[in-house]
Structure 1
Amino acid sequence: MCLAIPAKVTELLDDAMAIVALEGIKKKISTALVEDLSVGDYVLVHVGYALHKVSPEEASRTLSLMAEAGVLQEELEEIAETSK
């Protein structure tokens, strides 16, 4: 389905890249569209790009709504598959 999904920045890399994590899944993404990121920030990720920062509360609320709607697991599986 490819929805944008909140994830936590766990590592900042060179060349506007970062590692994000969600539910034990780690993925390398581009941070070229977002300024002033720090490890521990939450970003909204879509097709390998951080679109913007979100608060931890907004990330939690969004993930809860996605789980309630039944789309979170599908998105996690897709992220895991593309992270291999």
Structure 2
Amino acid sequence: MTAMCLGVPGLITEIHQEAGLPVGTVDFGGLRRSACLSCTPEAAVGDYVIVHVGFAITMVDEAEARRTLEVLRAIDATDGSLRTELGEAAEPPAEPPAEPPREPRDLADAGGDAA
């Protein structure tokens, strides 16, 4: 059997600094883990990120995060791999804290490629 690492979506519930790096507490359906946010410096409390080996590697919207978690839960129902990866969390993430909505960023304004 071939092992595969997953990037799992979770909700950032708080952000703090550790050794000069931004670190978030990320909620994976009730199980909270720390994740380095240095690859996603624009991420804020209430955002969803994909976490892989302890690093938030990209941001996703809530709908995509929930769809991905549903697929992972379906896989988990057959082999328990999500519980193996995360512990006992296989539930939808907690609701984000109430915050005013943020305006979407235009990648061209941030010096990135909007293509």
Q: Point out the structure with max Rg over C-alpha.
A: 2
TM-score by structure 1 length?
0.83
Rounded to whole Å, the distance in 1 between the matches of 2:83 and 2:41 is 25
Q: Which has the higher helix share?
A: 1
| TM-aligned CA distance change 1:73 to 1:21, over 3 Å | farther
Which segment drifts farther, 70-79 or 36-45? 70-79
Q: How many positions carry a matched residue from both structures?
A: 81
Is 2:27 aligned against 1:21?
A: yes
More strand as a share of residues? 1
1:1-84 pair list within 5 angstroms: 1-14=4-17, 15-70=21-76, 73-80=80-87
* TM-score between both structures, scaled by the size of structure 2: 0.63
Structure 2: runs of 5+ lacking an equivalent: 89-115
Cα pair distance change 1:13/1:73, threshold 3 Å: farther
Which aligned runs of 4 or more in structure 1 are off by greater than 6 angstroms?
none
| Root mean square deviation, CA, Å | 2.1
